[in-house]
Every structure is written in structure tokens, then in C-alpha cells.
A and B are shown apart, each in its own frame.
Chain A
Amino acid sequence: MNPQLEGADQLEGTYVFDLRVSNRTLRINRFFWRLTQADWRDRLLKDEASLMREAGLSDVERALVRDRDWLGLIRHGVNFFVLEKFARVVKRTNLEVYASMRGESLEEFLSTRRVPAAR
């Protein structure tokens, strides 16, 4: 246990991304990370299913991606900062992803915010 993280496991709805998680999920994180390259983006948009198979994603992972299960992907151990690259490619804003992770619609989420128009 990393002493710097003592107590972090008490935080609800929070998933620590450490080397153990990163090692377990390197493949799917790399799959998302590669979306910084235009050719990988084009291939994803053309045939997402076969690109996932080529990248070696598991059945569970492929289902999470296919379902755009943002919270499920985070709980699986995907790092948010590669996940947001996927969101850009499939034309979801971060606010939409945030709402989804909270189990809310975008409008519901924005209604809890100070300046809902800042989108």
C-alpha cells in the first residue's frame, strides 16, 4: 500500500490509477491513446469492432467500448485522460461523459452547476 494513498480507498466513486491497475489495463489504455494519431482514428471510425480485436481487447473490454459505458470503463481501470481522447473521436464532450459517469443526463448534470451555459 502506497502510504501517500492512505485513506483514498475510503473515497466513494474514486478509482486510483496506480502501476498495478495500469499494468493490467495497458492494452486498452494503449488502444485509446493511439487515437492521438489520425490514421488510428480513421480506422476506428471505419471499423471499430475489428480494430478492437486487432488491439487484443478482451470480450469484456470490447463490450464496454461498444456500449460507450464510460463509468464501466473507468471501473475497469481505464485512465480518464486516454478515455477523453476516445470521447473526442466519437463526438462526446467531457460534460456528457461526466454526466454519464454520475448516472445523469447532460441536462440533469448541468442543472447542478453554477454556470450551465459554460459548455
Chain B
Amino acid sequence: MARIVGGIGTSHVPTIGVAYDKGKQEDPAWKPLFDGYKPVAAWLAEKEVDTLVFFYNDHCSAFFFDLYPIFSLGVGEHFNIADEGAGLRDLPPIRGDVQLQAHIAESLVNDEFDIATFQDRPLDHGCASPLPLLWPHRPDWPGTLVPIAVNVLQFPLPTARRCWKLGQAVRRAVESYPKDLRVAIVGTGGLSHQVHGERTGFNNEEWDHQFLHLLEHQPEKLTKMKHADYMRLGGAESVEQIMWLAMRGAMADRVRKVHQNYYLATTTAMTVAVYEEVGA
């Protein structure tokens, strides 16, 4: 049986990808960020994780507003990395596992979670910004992805509570897969930031740490918050943190944070955290 070995929360700031591609791993301004991912990569290797279920959002790379799904699961042996206006990155295509992806889609739909599916569409920085920091990828990635895109761009967005329930349904899906696979759940985005309008540059470190505390110990409180609450507390685009709740919803009631790195350099509080289930 497939089982969940842990969860990861991570920012997906596009600048991380740019700094990575420019080789800024030892640049003093970036080193605290990249160093913070080393224990995460070591954890994934130690846990021998085969598959990452990735809750991310598409930034109008795979989808445009003419058809923008609330939740959509990617199916394919390979996903190209999106050209977001600056050309292609030097990364191998991301690998997928069609049998697992199809099983999760079937399980979700039969569980009354009517998720959309996509094929032959690229994955953008929502996945590709943190992924190279999590997994070595020369000559190829060591495992596969189940990308689950969440609409956090065009209101109405799914509620925080709905994302939490999606995570719970994904847990049931993973645990009903007959093959022995070791799965980690990844929730991406945040933490505090706003990148549009005159309020651009807003941060709230106190709230960021409160969010991290609540996510670990009292996630139900976060499921009761409205989108406007997230926007007020963490900046408009921090509402994407509802994707961390999807990750948390896929985990056991009690978890333990085994690693955290928080680095607010310019605009976004770039954060990564690793969670294990208590008693697992």
C-alpha cells in the first residue's frame, strides 16, 4: 500500500528559480535561502520518497481565465516546464506516474470530489521554483509528481476549509493505492507577501509565525478563516497559503515539525517546513 511519509510546506517564489539558474547558491544574499533547503533534500532522500503530491497554483501557464479550474490534477508520464515569458529553463521535464495519477483522480471523484484533470500542459514556477531545491535532477528526477493545481488567482477561490477537505480526500486516495509507494505531500505558496497595487511589499512576520504555529497544532482554526482574513493579515497574494492547508489536511491529526527555514529578503517571506506524523 502507498503511504504518506510526511509533508512539506514551501514558498514558490519565481525569483528562487532565477537565483538557482544563475548559480547564486553561495551568494550571501541567497545562501540563507538555499541552505535552508538542504535538510529538506536530505530528508526526502532519507525517507526514500518516490512521489510528491504537489498542491500548487498555475500562474496562467497551463490555463488562462477562459477556462480556469478550481482544482485540477495533472496526468502524464512527463510535464514540460513552462515558458513564462523569459524562455525555457535548463531542467529536465518533470516525471509523472499515470497509474497513480489516474487512481487519485478516480478516488477523488468517487469520493464526491469532482476534480478536473489536465494532460499535455506545462508546469510553471508554482512547481518548478522549489522542486530543484528539493530533489537532485541530473540526469533526471529521482521520483514522480502528482500535480494538483488550485485556483488562487481568480475569485471565487476554493475556501480554506475546502482545501483542507481536498487534502483529506487525497490521503484516502493515496492510502487506497495498492502499490508500495512512499509519498510526501507538498503545499506551496506564501508566506506573507503582496505583489499588486500600492500595498505591494506588505509583510507580517508576526502573522507568518502564528500561521506556522497554527498549521502545526491547530489547523482547524485556519480552515475557519475567510480569504479576506488571509489577505488582510498576510497581504493579498498570501491567500495562496490555503494550499498549505491542503497539505496539512492530508496528514494525521498530530504532526511534528522537524525542520523550518524562514527568510524574508525582499518581498516574500520565503519559508520551507517539514512535518512528520506523530507516532508514525
How many residue pairs between the two chains, A and B, have CB atoms under 8 Å in the bound complex?
A: 150
Q: A18-B156, A36-B83, A85-B85 are in contact. Are A113 and B228 (CB under 8 A)?
A: no
B99 at the A interface (CB under 8 A): no
**Known contacts A7-B228, A17-B153, A118-B266: does B198 contact A71 (CB below 8 Å)?**
yes
8 Å CB interface, B59-82 against A: 59-61, 64-66, 82
Q: How far apart are A42's CB and chain B's nearest CB, in angstroms?
A: 12
CB-defined contacts of B264 to chain A, threshold 8 Å: 114
Contact size range, B: 35 or more
What is the CA–CA distance of A67 and B199 in the complex, to the nearest angstrom? 21
Residues of B within 8 A of A22 (CB): 65, 154
| Chain A CB within 8 A of B231 CB | yes
Determine if B84 and A88 form an interchain contact, defined as CB atoms under 8 angstroms apart: yes
* CA distance in complex: A21, B272 (Å): 33
A4 touching B154, Cβ below 8 Å:
no
Q: Which of B135-143, B189-197, B210-218, B247-255 contacts A (4 or more CB under 8 A)?
A: B189-197
Smallest CB-CB separation from A8: which chain B residue?
B228
Q: B232 near A11 (CB under 8 angstroms)? A: yes
Instruction: Give the contacts of B197-211 with A (CB-CB under 8 A).
Output: 197-201
Cα of A88 to Cα of B60 in the assembled complex, Å: 14
Report the bound CA distance from A40 to B228 in whole Å.
Answer: 36
Does B1 reach chain A (CB closer than 8 Å)?
no
Whether B199 pairs with A14 at a CB distance below 8 angstroms is yes
Q: Are B66 and A26 in contact (CB under 8 A)?
A: yes
B280 at the binding interface (Cβ < 8 Å): no
A-B residue pairs in contact (CB < 8 Å), sample of 16: A2-B155, A4-B155, A4-B227, A5-B155, A5-B227, A5-B228, A7-B228, A14-B194, A14-B196, A22-B154, A33-B60, A84-B14, A94-B14, A101-B197, A112-B201, A116-B266
Query: Besides A13-B198, A26-B66, A113-B266, 7 other CB < 8 A contacts?
Result: A5-B227, A6-B228, A8-B228, A12-B198, A113-B265, A113-B267, A115-B29
Residues of B within 8 A of A (CB): 14-15, 19, 27-30, 33, 59-61, 64-66, 82-87, 153-157, 159, 194-201, 226-229, 231-232, 236-237, 264-267
